[in-house]
């Protein structure tokens, strides 16, 4: 079955089709693990330091970034790794302020893509439930008619 996550599921979709595409959509929705997140964020902190973003009065940039890393992780951890990479790339290309972008600024960069993926997962799960339910009702009806 040729299906893209931004499309509706075909009317004639089967349980077999759904079981083929579900693992891919699950992988696309997998949250970023903390190690990968720290690598992505470390690159971002280097960018911030290079351009003088987030300098506080104590000038203890490393301490500030360690504290901020946990806050960013708590806020952004549900976003898949590939989307986080895209979000940070977009921020680096377009950020025009002297303050460090907040986690909400970063998540906003990929909000539409992330929502599309989550909706696709929900559509697949709903369709599976509906097909399972239809199958169960057919079997149940056959059993009742056969008695």
Per residue in 58-69, pLDDT (tens digit) is 567 677 778 889
Q: What is the pLDDT, as a whole number, of residue 97? A: 86
Sorted by sequence, the CB contacts under 8 Å of residue 56 that are 6+ apart come out as 64
Q: In the chain, which residues have pLDDT < 50? A: 57
Q: What is the pLDDT, as a whole number, of residue 140? A: 61
Write down how long the chain is.
147
**Tokens coding 55:** 């300098």
Q: What is the pLDDT, as a whole number, of residue 12? A: 85
Q: What is the pLDDT, as a whole number, of residue 7? A: 82
The answer to whether the predicted template modeling score (pTM) of the entire model surpasses 0.85 is no
Q: What is the pLDDT, as a whole number, of residue 89? A: 97
- Radius of gyration of the chain from Cα atoms? 22
Q: What is the pLDDT, as a whole number, of residue 4? A: 79
């Amino acid at each position: 079955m040729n299906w893209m996550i931004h499309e509706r599921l075909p009317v004639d979709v089967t349980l077999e089709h759904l079981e083929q595409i579900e693992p891919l959509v699950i992988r696309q929705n997998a949250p970023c693990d903390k190690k990968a997140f720290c690598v992505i964020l470390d690159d971002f902190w280097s960018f911030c330091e290079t351009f003088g973003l987030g300098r506080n009065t104590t000038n203890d940039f490393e301490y500030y970034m360690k504290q901020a890393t946990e806050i960013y992780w708590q806020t952004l951890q549900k976003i898949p790794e590939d989307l986080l990479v895209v979000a940070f790339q977009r921020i680096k290309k377009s950020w025009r302020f002297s303050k460090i972008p907040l986690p909400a600024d970063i998540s906003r960069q990929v909000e539409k893509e992330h929502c599309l993926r989550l909706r696709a997962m929900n559509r697949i799960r709903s369709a599976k439930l509906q097909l399972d339910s239809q199958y169960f009702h057919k079997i149940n009806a056959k059993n009742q008619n056969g008695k």
